[in-house]
Amino acid sequence: MVKYILIMIICSGIPGNQCKPIPVPISEFKEYHECIIYGYDYSSTMLKSLNPKTINEFDEYHKCIIYGYDHSSMMLKSLDPRTINEFEMFTAFDCKEQTTT
């Protein structure tokens, strides 16, 4: 039987800062879709628990990431778990500063 292991790291959008592993309450899953959705949900919850001033001091990147995790989790939850498992689906996103002219 295949099991899926969730490994999480936290990173900063500031050059020179190193990513660090973070512990997760649940790290082993029977199904891929359970692992990926839990990862998005836990990431969003963990980032929301940080002091907003801390996130704002770093950059807009983290505010976008929280939205991205929430949206990714909702989207994946709307799909058939068999599809997520079969194709090992996940979402990827990045947040860039938009300059206005």
CB-based contacts of 90: which residues, under 8 Å, 6+ apart? 36, 72, 76
Phi, psi of 33 (to 5 degrees): -60, -30
The more confident residue out of 89 and 34 is 34
Q: For residue 36, give the 3-state DSSP assignment.
A: helix
| Residues pairing with 5 in the sheet | 28
Residue 20 pLDDT: 80
The pTM assigned to this predicted structure is 0.67
**Residues 24-50 pLDDT 10s:** 888 899 988 899 898 888 888 887 887
Contact 44, 69 (CB under 8 A): yes
